[in-house]
């Protein structure tokens, strides 16, 4: 039975064997303790997924033989989470759990009330977030890790042409998310894709930002009467959308 999944930056079918070193080797050999002869999954940065057999597990590396490429179906829903910047532990948690739930993309944004990200550290932060997304995808056996963007400014994103359905979570009212997710059930309407969800900072959106959302064609969405923390709101929205629309 093939159960464990590991990451290789690029898998080339012309090279029948893949070598895992570093963190991936450590995970295979010392964490899940996969041995020679066992079957595993491999995936790469381009979303390719393969079944492979472990040939040898050595002290510093493992050698795997590619068996077959697994064709990936086009996902029913492409879900992009646009999250206002929060303290590091909170943003890491949101990304990890959202990746487990199957988001396709993650865009951290600077807003009026969010934290600001020093431009000189954009590369370091993005690399770290990409690693978190890969680990979460690996753990959840997802077919491809979400694309992680460097931090951007909210006004720049809203100035771009919108694609698919774009919604923002608002504390000041809006269509209940459960209504949005179920209103097309009886008519059999297709699931919109992509769906972009904007989640605000700990202080919420400003009045001007909410006006800018509406001007850009985004729809206000409510999660109910309770005021949720940013990380709770983000994961609640992603979980609900994934449950109703992704599978």
pTM score > 0.75 for this model?
A: yes
Q: Is residue 90 located within the same domain as residue 196?
A: yes
Rounded-to-integer distance, Cα 26 and Cα 62, Å: 9
Q: Is residue 96 located within the same domain as residue 16?
A: no
Q: Is residue 91 located within the same domain as residue 137?
A: yes
Domain range for residue 23?
Answer: 5-69
Q: Provide the terminal-to-terminal Cα distance of the chain, rounded to the nearest Å.
A: 24
SS3 percent helix, strand, coil of the chain, rounded to 5, is: 35, 25, 40
pLDDT at 2: 54
Q: Is residue 211 located within the same domain as residue 174?
A: yes
User: Where is average pLDDT lowest: 13-27, 79-93, 96-110, 197-211?
Assistant: 13-27
Q: Is residue 52 located within the same domain as residue 83?
A: no
Q: Is residue 22 located within the same domain as residue 91?
A: no
Domain end position, chosen among 69, 100, 117: 69
Domain end position, chosen among 38, 69, 100: 69
Q: Is residue 103 located within the same domain as residue 27?
A: no
- 165 located within any domain: yes
CATH code of the domain containing 230? 3.40.1280.10
Q: What percent of the chain stands above pLDDT 70?
A: 93
pLDDT at 122: 64
Nearest 5°: phi and psi at 29?
A: -80, -35
- Name every residue whose Cβ is closer than 8 Å to that of residue 136 and which is 6 or more positions away in sequence: 95, 96, 97, 99, 100, 142, 145
Domain end position, chosen among 69, 88, 105: 69
What is the tens place of the pLDDT at every residue in 177-216? 999 999 865 555 678 889 999 999 999 999 999 999 999 9
pLDDT at 1: 46
Q: Is residue 170 located within the same domain as residue 131?
A: yes
What is the tens place of the pLDDT at every residue in 51-91? 999 999 999 999 999 998 887 766 778 999 999 999 999 99
- Average pLDDT over all residues of the chain: 90
What is the tens place of the pLDDT at every residue in 112-142? 999 887 665 667 889 999 999 999 998 888 8
Q: What percent of the chain stands above pLDDT 90?
A: 63
- 74 located within any domain: no
CB-based contact 2:66 (threshold 8 Å): no
- In the chain, the number of structural domains is 2
Q: Is residue 162 located within the same domain as residue 97?
A: yes
Count of CA atoms in the C-beta half-sphere (13 A) of 218: 28
Q: Is residue 12 located within the same domain as residue 118?
A: no
Nearest alpha-carbon partner for 154 in 117, 180, 127: 117
- 19 located within any domain: yes
- Residue 64 CA, chain-centre distance (Å), reads 27
Q: Is residue 131 located within the same domain as residue 189?
A: yes
């Amino acid at each position: 039975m093939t159960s464990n999944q590991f990451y290789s930056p690029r898998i080339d079918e012309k090279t029948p064997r893949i070598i895992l070193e570093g963190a991936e080797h450590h995970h295979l050999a010392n964490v899940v303790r996969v041995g020679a002869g066992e079957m595993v999954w491999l995936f790469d940065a381009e979303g390719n997924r393969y079944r492979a057999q472990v040939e040898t597990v050595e002290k510093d590396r493992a050698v795997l033989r590619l068996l077959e490429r697994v064709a990936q179906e086009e996902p029913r829903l492409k879900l992009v989470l646009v999250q206002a910047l929060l303290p590091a532990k909170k943003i890491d948690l949101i990304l990890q759990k959202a990746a487990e739930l199957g988001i396709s993309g993650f865009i951290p944004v600077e807003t009026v009330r969010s934290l600001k990200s020093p431009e000189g550290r954009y590369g370091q932060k993005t690399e770290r977030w990409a690693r978190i997304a890969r680990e979460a995808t690996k753990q959840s056996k997802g077919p491809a890790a979400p694309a992680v963007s460097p931090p951007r400014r909210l006004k720049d994103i809203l100035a771009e042409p919108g694609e698919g359905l774009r919604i923002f979570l608002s504390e000041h009212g809006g269509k209940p998310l459960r209504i949005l997710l179920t209103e097309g059930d009886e008519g059999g309407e297709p699931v919109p894709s992509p769906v972009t969800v904007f989640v605000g900072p700990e202080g919420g959106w400003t009045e001007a930002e909410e006006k800018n959302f509406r001007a850009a064609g985004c729809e206000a969405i409510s999660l109910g009467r309770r005021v949720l923390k940013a990380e709770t709101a983000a994961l609640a929205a992603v979980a609900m959308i994934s449950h109703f629309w992704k599978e």
